[in-house]
Amino acid sequence: MAKVKGDIIIDIEKCKGCELCIEACPQDTLEQSRSVNTKGYLYIVKVQDNCTGCTNCALVCPDGAITVFRQSGKKKEQIAKITNVTGDLKVTVG
């Protein structure tokens, strides 16, 4: 079975370093960083490229700091279609 491919974006300025997302992630994708954000919290970073897009981390995050993405198309060829390259670049996704 092909692995479901997901990804996340972490708003590190919103993160309060509570580590609940680390605990909730079944893939061990997340770790606490060694540097702090402007508020002084040790924010969260992605340390592995194995996210499945299950949304667990985002659901438990009290500060809504995580946005989760999941690859929708089954075939890679369907990610995007690029047309009219010499003129204005048009990208059709889907």
Partner 1 sequence: MNEKKMTGDEHYETMIAEENICINENIVYDKPHDALYSTPMHYCPGCGHGVVHRLIAEVVEELGIIHDVIGVAPVGCSVLAYNYLNIDMSEAAHGRASAVATGIKRVLPDKYVFSYQGDGDLAAIGTGETIHTCNRGENILVIFINNGIYGMTGGQMAPTTLANMKSSTSPFGRDVQTMGYPLKITELVAQLPGTYYVTRQSVHKAVNVRKTKKAIMNGFLYQKENKGTCFIEVVSNCPSNWKMSPVESNKWLDENMLPFYPLGDIKIPSNSSKNNGE
Structure tokens given for 13? 């300025």
**Residue 64 contacts residue 13 (beta carbons within 8 Å):** no
Per-residue contact flags (x/-) with ligand SF4 for residues 54 to 93, judged by CB under 6 A = xxxx--xx-x-xx-x-------------------------
Structure tokens given for 27? 């893939």
Q: How far apart are CA 80 and CA 84, in angstroms?
A: 13
Q: Positive or negative, the Cα torsion across 82, 83, 87, 90? A: negative
Q: Could you say which of ligand SF4, partner 1, none residue 80 binds, taking C-beta under 5 to 8 angstroms by partner kind?
A: partner 1
Site residues, partner 1 (CB under 8 A)? 5-7, 9, 14, 16-20, 22-24, 39, 41, 53-56, 58-64, 66-72, 76-77, 79-83, 85, 89, 93-94
Partner residues linked to 91 by β-bridges: 82
**Residues near ligand SF4 (CB under 6 A):** 6, 8, 10, 15-21, 24-25, 27, 29-30, 44, 51-57, 60-61, 63, 65-66, 68
